[in-house]
Amino acid sequence: MKTRKLGNGQLEVSALGLGCMGLSFGYGPAVDDKVGIDLIRAAVDQGVTFFDTAEVYGAYTNEELVGKALSPVRDQVVIATKFGFAIDEHGIQTGLNSRPEHIREVAEACLRRLQTDHIDLFYQHRIDPDVPIEDVAGTVKELIAEGKVGHFGLSEAGVDNIRRAHAVQPVTALQSEYSLWWREQEEEIFPILEELGIGFVPFSPLGKGFLTGKMDENTIFAENDFRNKVPRFFEENRKANLAFVELLKRIADEKQATPAQVALAWLLAQQPWIVPIPGTTKRHRLEENIASVSLELSESELAEINAGTSRIEAIGQRYPAAAQKMIDR
């Protein structure tokens, strides 16, 4: 597995990470622990060293799963987790909470669930408008000084908060959605990441599964699959958005690859400091994704993809209205 460096070369990870959320949360029923552990360890065996989780996935169950899976190989991997949500006694999100005392409480709980003495990368999951970002960055800076956290990250943060946070504690990585059907980050976010030397970790690099080419307007999701509530996945929007998949399939056929591999290879070709974290519950999909690291797209192929996507408009918001409001601009 090739490696890449995030945050001015401070944190070296595999060129492709594994987003673990879907093993426990979001995309239908959680997998059995054994299935999840086997998948995560298969990723380690194939060279993946970067694993992404969060307290809110489950809630809590995904961190516990990741902790069980990675504890035997803890010194070989980088674990990223997140704080920033308020969670009630039933495990339900009730809003945002990045107060310093809460960040500390979450850090201690994450360490226990992950069965480790340090968190390699600790992201603020969403910007909390009620807490100055300087207070957030300062608290993580203290945790880093105490050895409980290795690096500071932000998720779905805008330019102003990135700059202000970085002035207090250098930000190693920004995590936000980015893929062929969501390229907004290129306009304002990429320039500041380049300027400040911050790495970029795209989540949903395969468009929450859509860019794999394995679904269409007739696909039925599980009852508790959050895509049922995402406007971009409404039936009529999926039908329109298949234009992205048709473009990927055309390139994939020429390369004897899959649409997913082309979509990931395109992402990897954008910047050397980009590390996508596709998720899956299936071993063969894991292997398919990992193979994308070796797929080289020529300049003409990249130009063809860019020209093709520039003529396609993604239909539908990427989040339901309530979640959309939490995105920092």
Report the relative pairing of strands 11-14 and 3-6 from DSSP bridges: antiparallel
Phi-psi region of 91 (alpha: psi -120 to 50; beta: other; left: phi over 0): left
**Domain membership flag for residue 69:** yes
Q: HSE (CB half, 13 Å, CA atoms) of 28?
A: 9
Collapsed DSSP state (helix, strand, coil) of residue 14:
strand
Angle at the Cα of 22 from the Cα atoms of 1 and 218, rounded to 5 degrees: 110
Position 4 scores a pLDDT of 98
Collapsed DSSP state (helix, strand, coil) of residue 202:
strand
Position 289 scores a pLDDT of 98
**Domain membership flag for residue 329:** no
Indicate the residue type of 155: S
CATH, residue 157 = 3.20.20.100
Angle at the Cα of 193 from the Cα atoms of 200 and 241, rounded to 5 degrees: 55
Position 195 scores a pLDDT of 98
**Domain membership flag for residue 151:** yes
Greatest C-alpha distance within the chain? 54
Position 319 scores a pLDDT of 86
Whole-model pTM?
0.97
Reading the block at residue 212, the tokens are 């794999």
What is the rounded CA–CA span in Å between residue 176 and residue 186? 11
Position 43 scores a pLDDT of 98
* Structural domain containing residue 30: 3-324
- Is 60 tagged catalytic? no
Walking along the chain (329 residues) 10 residues at a time, the average pLDDT comes out as 93 98 96 98 98 97 98 98 96 95 98 98 98 98 98 98 98 97 95 98 97 95 95 95 96 97 98 98 98 97 95 91 79
**Domain membership flag for residue 236:** yes
Examine residue 59 and say whether the peptide bond preceding it is cis (omega within 30 degrees of 0).
yes
Find the catalytic residue in 27, 57, 60, 123. 57
**Domain membership flag for residue 8:** yes
Collapsed DSSP state (helix, strand, coil) of residue 169:
coil
Q: What is the 3-state secondary structure (H, E, C) of 176-190?
A: EECECCECCHHHHHH
Position 10 scores a pLDDT of 87
Whose CA is closest to 316, among 244, 218, 260, 221? 244
Report the relative pairing of strands 18-19 and 171-177 from DSSP bridges: unpaired
Collapsed DSSP state (helix, strand, coil) of residue 262:
helix
Domain tally, the chain: 1
Residue 230: DSSP 8-state: -
Q: Across-strand partners of 5?
A: 12
Q: Where are the alpha helices (DSSP H) in the chain?
A: 33-45, 61-70, 100-114, 133-145, 159-168, 185-196, 235-255, 259-270, 283-291, 299-310, 321-324
Q: What is the 3-state secondary structure (H, E, C) of 102-160?
A: HHHHHHHHHHHHHCCCCEEEEEECCCCCCCCHHHHHHHHHHHHHCCCEEEEEEECCCHH
Cβ neighbour number for residue 307 with a 10 Å cutoff: 10
**Domain membership flag for residue 21:** yes
- Rg over CA atoms, the chain: 19
